[in-house]
Structure 1
């Protein structure tokens, strides 16, 4: 059954990219909203994030995490137990780590030497893998969960000067649309927020000319707090079911985008037969993982 109303109160929240920017603002908001515990997963912390941990050592914990390393991602559930108690799992998962067109991982500069685009692993692969880990964790103890992926307005538009970034953000928008059924079948709600330009270290912390190239100014930006409020709404409110997309940008802080399955459920016998056949192998996997966590 769908997750429905899902307040942050008393929830355990896992946040990748929570050391700065949008996701740090969400960590602060979750804490003031009564979250039981917050695990920030990032490569490093800003001074403000470190201060928050120092001031709230029982509620907020840090785990050094390279989101391109699946071993690091798989280590998150054990860290949740270590931080918040044996048998505990994350209730709310934020896939927020991301990069914007660094020269070391760019279609046009083509400086990457590792045999793959690292930006694709950070922006697209990590949210998908984190969602799988989140669902496995929640299903193993028969609990609902919410996963919010931080995409971008670039996930529904194109930009010649940021082709790889747009591709990564389109990927997670398509993934979110495809995961709407998980809310209905598995009590796991996957949603996606698409911010416009936001005043964060992604822009302000750069040493290159990218901010100037894309005409970055504070006047065209929204704040990280604006985005965090939208994230809270998507997680908590029943009107945002799994598969929902919300854009949030200067001049229009809330815009719910249409998200449809390829085959709309019209209640017909043909649809029921299609769904039963198409989804059966997926449902079998989740059923095998349900309630399997040892106490």
Structure 2
């Protein structure tokens, strides 16, 4: 089957890494775009169509089981299969030391970053099992590899994503399904644009900033290029891998 006949599902498709990746994948895949924000999600769909791509948009809260089942069902109804799933939707933490994190903030981060990734895997894996093939790429983070000051809950959720990724990779490898994770460092997106302000409000500027060895955050296109590689046949021998794209941050 050629990539042009295959189907990619992208969550968090309305902005940032998700939008840029959606446009890149649409050159080779039919795309199912998923986002909580219907306006930005529809904008991404129009951009896909303007460049000659084919796709649909489904509004969803990835932390709600019924919403996840709905976008999975819509993908199968529209195109019959799911070949590549970029399980990308996530939120960032308001920086604070562990004892100062509000319980509601903890619940929000776990719901989207961990439960949302789990639910996406749960229902997409069922489709891929029936197909006997498929590839899931979860968005983790450098914070899923090491801890980060004043971002303990965020780090915990991303460590959880890493754990889910490795376990599923072992569980489904014999069924023709691969599961990997991408671990970006700092990325210049709408989601992260208020990070500097949050540092100032929290009274802490993490030492990681001075350790950005390339001297800048990544552009979303630089992450999307790696996702496109992972979505290609060239990554066929990779499963359970954590692909760092961090400008040397974790060295």
2:66 counterpart (48, 59, 71): 71
- Give the CA deviation at 1:162: 0.3
The residue aligned with 1:31 is 26
The residue aligned with 2:81 is 89
Matches within 5 A, 1:177-216: 177-204=166-193, 206=194, 209-210=197-198, 213=205
Gaps of 5+ in 1: 1-5, 256-295
Given that 2:12 and 2:34 are in contact with CA atoms closer than 8 Å, whether structure 1 keeps it comes out as yes
Is 1:224 the counterpart of 2:220 in the alignment? yes
1:111 counterpart (64, 84, 102): 102
Task: Give the TM-score normalised by the residue count of structure 1.
Answer: 0.71
Q: 1:251 to 1:171 in 2, by over 3 A?
A: closer
How many Å separate the matches in 2 of 1:223 and 1:14?
Answer: 22
1:175 counterpart (161, 164, 172): 164
- Give the CA deviation at 1:251: 5.0
The residue aligned with 2:90 is 98
Secondary structure at the aligned position of 1:99 is classed as: coil
Gaps of 5+ in 2: none
Q: 1:148 to 1:59 in 2, by over 3 A?
A: same
Is 1:241 the counterpart of 2:238 in the alignment? yes
CA deviation vs aligned residue, 1:249-286 (integer Å, no higher than 9, x gap): 1258xx9xxxxxxxxxxxxxxxxxxxxxxxxxxxxxxx
Given that 1:182 and 1:188 are in contact with CA atoms closer than 8 Å, whether structure 2 keeps it comes out as no
- Give the CA deviation at 1:153: 0.5
- Give the CA deviation at 1:100: 0.8
Quick check: which one's helix share is greater? 2
Report the number of matched residues. Answer: 240
How many Å separate the matches in 1 of 2:104 and 2:218?
Answer: 35
CA deviation vs aligned residue, 1:138-191 (integer Å, no higher than 9, x gap): 222x34111000110011111131000100011111221222224531111100
How many Å separate the matches in 2 of 1:220 and 1:58?
Answer: 32
Given that 2:76 and 2:82 are in contact with CA atoms closer than 8 Å, whether structure 1 keeps it comes out as no
CA RMSD of aligned residues (A): 3.1
- Give the CA deviation at 1:13: 0.8
Q: Larger C-alpha radius of gyration, 1 or 2?
A: 1
| Higher mean C-alpha deviation, range 172-181 or range 52-61 | 52-61
